[in-house]
Amino acid sequence: MRIGIYPGSFDPLTNGHLDIIERAKRICDHLIVAVARNSAKRSLFTIEERLDMLKHCCQSLYNGIEIVTFEGLLAEYCKKRHVNFIVRGLRAIVDFEYEYAIALMNKKLAPDIETVFMMAKGEYSFLSSNIVKEVASLGGDISTLVPQFVQQKLQEKFSSRSE
């Protein structure tokens, strides 16, 4: 059984992430979508909120996807879960150096686990969670960039902040 893992911050989930999830699902028997608990980045959404968004938007759409959170080193979590490969998305060239460094480090920490890169879909290749947050905070239209559920959560977040 080929077990893949797609780790990330998902702060918040975007249509670009969903596209990778859908495609990754096709190349493995079991896909774990893993939200990092200890990301150094400051997040807008709590870990529970991010998990909830993923569960709401993925589980009904794609059977056989497991959504989890993990803490500590990804390589250790992968060993524990007998993961065969890590899936990461690549957008423009700017992603490459960062992703390459992480992939090399993971290879060092867990030599049996491969990192598989998927090129972002053209229309999502400049889409990031940060851009979505920025546009949503300024009241812009993000309806083509994130699932409706996420759009609602962003609106709630920013309207409660401006009160």
DSSP-derived 3-state class of residue 64: coil
Catalytic status, residue 129: yes
Question: Least distance from C-beta 163 to ligand ADP, angstroms?
Answer: 28
Catalytic status, residue 133: no
- Nearest Cα residue to 39 out of 7, 67, 78: 7
Question: Least distance from C-beta 128 to ligand ADP, angstroms?
Answer: 5
Enumerate binding residues for ligand ADP (CB under 6 A).
8-10, 14, 16-17, 20, 39, 88-89, 91, 95, 120, 124, 127-129
Query: Please, are residues 153 and 53 in contact by the beta-carbon 8 Å criterion?
Result: yes
Query: Please, are residues 99 and 74 in contact by the beta-carbon 8 Å criterion?
Result: no
d(CA 43, CA 77): 22
Given 91, 107, 121, 157, the catalytic residue:
91
- Please say which residue, 3 or 116, places its beta carbon nearer to ligand ADP: 116
Any idea which residues carry the catalytic annotation? Answer: 17, 41, 91, 129
